[in-house]
Every structure is written in structure tokens, then in C-alpha cells.
Structure 1
Amino acid sequence: MADEELPAQRRPLNISYSPCPNDTFVFHAWAHGLVPAAPAVEVGFADIDITNGLAERGEGDILKVSYAVLPWVLDEYALLPCGGALGRGCGPLVLAPGPLEPAALAGKSVAVPGERSTAYLLFRLWAAARVPGGVGEVRVMPFHEIMPAVRDGRVDAGLVIHEARFTYPRFGLHQLADLGEFWEGTTGHPIPLGAIIAKRSLGEERLRAVIESIRASVRRAWADPAASQDYVLEHAQEMDPAVADAHIGLYVNEFTADLGEAGYAAVRELLTRAADEGLVPRVPEARLASLSPR
């Protein structure tokens, strides 16, 4: 029997997340059938700009997306309280070919990894405060193409995420701004980066099973980090095990297991500030926190 012919409660769930080390580390156990009683899943890999688009089109049961895309998708998807990336000292960076002051970006071209990424929201909030007159052209690129574009002079600066935080000196680039430092210094909150969402139409019972499966997968990953190493390195853009370990150490933390009050407060702050700037639609509080199906 084809999957589409199976009863809804028996059909494997499809889940899409990035090939980055934090995601493969978190979901390794569940993806490999190592979480007892967890729903079966079919895994797809895609960068965050792709999964954001999937969410906006309503394609996929479970997705890793940018917190920035939530205002457009929360009617159909519920924000899950675990599995995502939120923390301190882990923000996106603005890079340039040489040492610059932020004001020097006025009217300049900047490469970004997606206009509905959390990194881009943070960049827009930072630029509004630090770049008089604003930047010039914004070019969307896959994140792994941004540093070469800055190095080669195709853009004046780049907004980078993921393991680029650790590897940008190899490209001879300079850090112009740490948007995590800007965010934390301005708000006191941790930085909301990537969220896990699931279709509300799965129903509350299945949504709760998904949450418990993610948390169990995280616990297994922490209990036996070596078990996921091959899976992590197989999919990572940066194959150096030391870089992968640093990436995991930075992005997989207590908020991955449970957003908690501090995590939800950070998400509300980000989306409220972005709405105040006219960057995103305003999100009703009940829609952000609700896990109930429609």
C-alpha cells in the first residue's frame, strides 16, 4: 500500500531540516529508528530558505524554519517547544573584506541567506540602528556562497550563519558586526534562530508524540554524542570534526530541549520588534503559543 493510501495515523511523517551539524545531531536518533515508540519519519535535507518556502506553501509535516517566517505560517503550523536553535553567543555575523565601521555600509551591497530568515530580521534591526541611511542592494544567496562573494568583491559585505561563524578567517574576511551581541545587548534575550514547526492538522495527540520524540532524540544525542558523528559529518558543509563539534556545542543547548519561558519571551520580542518596524505581520499571542489543531 502506498503511503498516501495509509490511514493518517499510520502514514510516516515527513520532516525536513538542514544538513547542518546541530540539526543532524538533534534528529539522528529519531531519523534512525532509535527512539522507542516514535512515529516513523521520512527525512529530507534542505537549507533554511528552502524549508521556509515549504512552510509558506504548506508542504511538509515537520519543518525546521526561521523564526522570522512564523508570522506567515502559524495558521497552518504550530511552533513546537523543542528541537530548534536558540541561544547566546551564537548570532549571525556581518562580514566585510577589511575592517570597516558599520556606517560604511550605507548604500552598499550586502549578501544575505534569505529575506525571511531570522538572520535577515536581526540584520534589518541592526542596520536601522547602526547604518545611517540604510544599506543599498540586498542579494539573496545560498549561505555557503556568501563568503566567496565577499572575498571576490561581488558584494561589499555578507551576512553569514551556521559554521561560517568559525571559518570566515579562512576567506580573509573581517567581522564588522556580531548581531547576537547586538541583540543580547539591546534586549537581554537569547537569540531565536531556527524553529521546529509541525502541521496543526496532525492533531494534538500526534503533535504531542512528535514533541516527545524530538526530546527523546535530543537526550540520546547528549547521552552518546559519538553515535551521531558519522551522520553529522556525512551531511555537513564543513567536514572538519572540530568545527562540527563547535557548531553543535554552540547551537544545541537547554533551549533545544525546551524553549521555556525565556525562549518564548525571546521569540515574542523578536517578532514584536520586527512588526513594529513593518518587517513582518503582527502575530497574535495565542497563535504563537498554541499547540492545538485548528
Structure 2
Amino acid sequence: MTDLRIAFSPCPNDTFVFHALVHGQVPGAPPFDVTYADVDVTNTAALDGRFDLVKVSYAALPWLLDQYELLPCGGALGRGCGPLVLVRDGSDISDLSGLTVAVPGERTTAYLLMRLWSAARPPAAIEVVPFDKIMPGVAAGTWDAGLVIHEARFTYPTYGLTALADLGEWWEGDTGLPIPLGAILARRGAVDPAAATAWVRESVRQAWDAPGNTREYVMAHAQEMNPDVAAAHIKLYVNDFTTNLGDEGYAAVNALLTRAANEGLTPPTPRLTRLP
């Protein structure tokens, strides 16, 4: 059997979730050829159908659902885990109008949320920057503000930065719904969604049952991250929605994509319905 091709980020939440699956520890699952890539890369790399299972931003779904089906598990969705808009400490910046903002990708959920939040007073320019370069660049004055994701929630004060906005907090207050960040997609015709759902859920179960088994793998890909930060990252982004989006999760995804389409920011997307 040819290995299935899977792509996800080297971030602790993804390596934690997929540890058992990619190490052949999930009964009945095939072997996998793994690509590690940040979500801003997979959002566009998935367009050519090169992956069978892939982690992408929910904001990228309008360009991908003709080839892929959304799985109801394995992704990142929750509360208190949204992207942040950061500025230098002591700045008198109150909104983004006229500013240059560094963002981690044009099809990330973070950038889509920032566009929705700042629609009345948008920035003058954006620059797409690898997410690990954003905080040092804002601190150095390269950009007026930066949009950050991942473990930056825990480390930005050490760069002398202040949160101008917590976009997850804004989204939750505006909609009452959790924030949909990263999704797991299965390529149509290549992977049975029901089987893939069972594999991913079993991989998550094993990680929760024996988190110590994942530690070496997680830290090997954590880009010199402090172990305490990696643990906090996993605790924040791996939650009940990771095993099942449920009605609330699907409502959040549909709300984001409907609003984005209504604002002309993404192509229209058919309403997503719940898988088992």
C-alpha cells in the first residue's frame, strides 16, 4: 500500500494530536508520509491536491472544499485562544488605520478575523511574514503592528509588546461562538472521511491517555520552545472540539465563512453540515 500523504504544522498541538497516527500506533490506519509545514504554507500548497490529509486554516476552506472534505476532529477551535494584534509597549496606537501590519498569511483565520475587526479603519498595508519573525520585527520598528498566532500568546510581553486587540475575545463577544482556527481536511476520493475521523480520534485519545509518550516528538519539532510554553500551547489548543466539532463548532465555522463571504472577503461557501 502506498503511504498516505499528511501535512500539518510542527507546532505542539499538531504533533501532540498526530503522534500516534504517524507512528503507526493507530490500529487499522495506513502508514503516512509526513510533511511539516506552517499553516500559511498548507493553505495554498493543498490547492494542487498533493496531500491526502492536511491541516489548514478555516479561512482557506472556500478555496479547498471542492477537493477536500472537512473532518469533525483534529483541528483547533476553542475559546480564549484567538490571534492577537500587537504593538510596541507605550505606543499610542488605537486602531490600524494608516499602519503597516505584519501578518502570518493571507488565507489564515487570523488575517480574516483582523480584516473583519478592522473593516471600519483598515491598515494602509500588510506584509506576509513567517510568524516567528513578527514579534521581533514589531519590537524593532520594522512594522507598526503585528498579527500573531500560536505560542505568541504566551511570550509577547518578553518582546516589549502590548496586545492592541485579542481577536478571539472580539469574535466571542460579537458572536457568542468559539473561534475556528485550524481544520483537518481529507482529500475526496483518496481517503474515506469516516475512517480518517476514527484514526484521528484514536490518535487524540492515545495522546490524552499517555501524554508522556508524545513529549519527545513534540519537543523535537517545537523549534527550541520552552517545555512549559509547549505544554501550555497543547492545553489551550487541544480540547473537546479536537475530538468533535459538534453543533457549536459547526455553527462557529459557518458563521465565520458566511460573514466573510457577505463582506466580500472570500468566495461563498455552502453551509457545512455535521459529520458523525
TM range (shorter): over 0.9
Give, as a single letter, the amino acid of the residue that structure 1 aligns with 2:196. V
Give, as a single letter, the amino acid of the residue that structure 2 aligns with 1:140. V
Do the aligned residues in 1 keep the contact of 2:207 with 2:214 (CA within 8 Å)?
yes
Aligned residue for 2:55? 64
List, as ranges, runs of 4+ consecutive aligned residues in structure 1 with deviation greater than 6 Å. none
Alignment of 1:88-99 (within 5 A): 88-99=79-90
Aligned residue for 1:235? 221
Change (3 A) 1:261 1:104: closer
Which structure 2 residue ranges, 5 or more long, are not aligned?
none
Return the offset for 1:241. 0.8
Aligned residue for 2:126? 138
Give, as a single letter, the amino acid of the residue that structure 1 aligns with 2:273. A
CA distance in structure 1 between the aligned counterparts of 2:24 and 2:121, rounded to whole angstroms: 53
CA distance in structure 2 between the aligned counterparts of 1:276 and 1:140, rounded to whole angstroms: 24
Give the alignment's TM-score, normalised by structure 2: 0.96
Query: Deviation per CA, 1:123-172, whole angstroms, max 9, x where unpaired?
Result: 011112xxx43211100001001001101101000000000110111111
Moved more, 56-65 or 226-235: 56-65
Do the aligned residues in 1 keep the contact of 2:96 with 2:121 (CA within 8 Å)?
no
CA distance in structure 2 between the aligned counterparts of 1:100 and 1:185, rounded to whole angstroms: 25
Alignment of 1:104-115 (within 5 A): 104-115=95-106
Aligned residue for 1:210? 196
Alignment of 1:29-48 (within 5 A): 29-48=20-39
Aligned residue for 2:235? 249
Do the aligned residues in 2 keep the contact of 1:30 with 1:213 (CA within 8 Å)?
yes
CA distance in structure 1 between the aligned counterparts of 2:112 and 2:130, rounded to whole angstroms: 17
Aligned residue for 1:118? 109
Aligned residue for 1:3? none
How many residue pairs get matched?
Answer: 275
Aligned residue for 1:18? 9
* Secondary structure of the structure 2 residue equivalent to 1:105: coil
Give the alignment's TM-score, normalised by structure 1: 0.91
Which structure 1 residue ranges, 5 or more long, are not aligned?
1-9
Do the aligned residues in 1 keep the contact of 2:246 with 2:274 (CA within 8 Å)?
no
Give, as a single letter, the amino acid of the residue that structure 1 aligns with 2:219. L
Match of 1:161 among 141, 149, 161: 149
Do the aligned residues in 1 keep the contact of 2:72 with 2:246 (CA within 8 Å)?
yes
Moved more, 55-64 or 95-104: 95-104
Aligned residue for 2:67? 76
Query: Deviation per CA, 1:106-131, whole angstroms, max 9, x where unpaired?
Result: 11000000010000011011112xxx
Change (3 A) 1:152 1:44: same
User: Percent identity between the aligned chains?
Assistant: 60
Query: Deviation per CA, 1:204-262, whole angstroms, max 9, x where unpaired?
Result: xx322211110000000000011100111110135211000000000000000011110
Aligned residue for 2:44? 53
Match of 1:280 among 260, 263, 266: 266
CA distance in structure 1 between the aligned counterparts of 2:225 and 2:68, rounded to whole angstroms: 33
Aligned residue for 1:28? 19
Change (3 A) 1:185 1:102: farther
CA distance in structure 2 between the aligned counterparts of 1:252 and 1:290, rounded to whole angstroms: 20
Aligned residue for 1:7? none
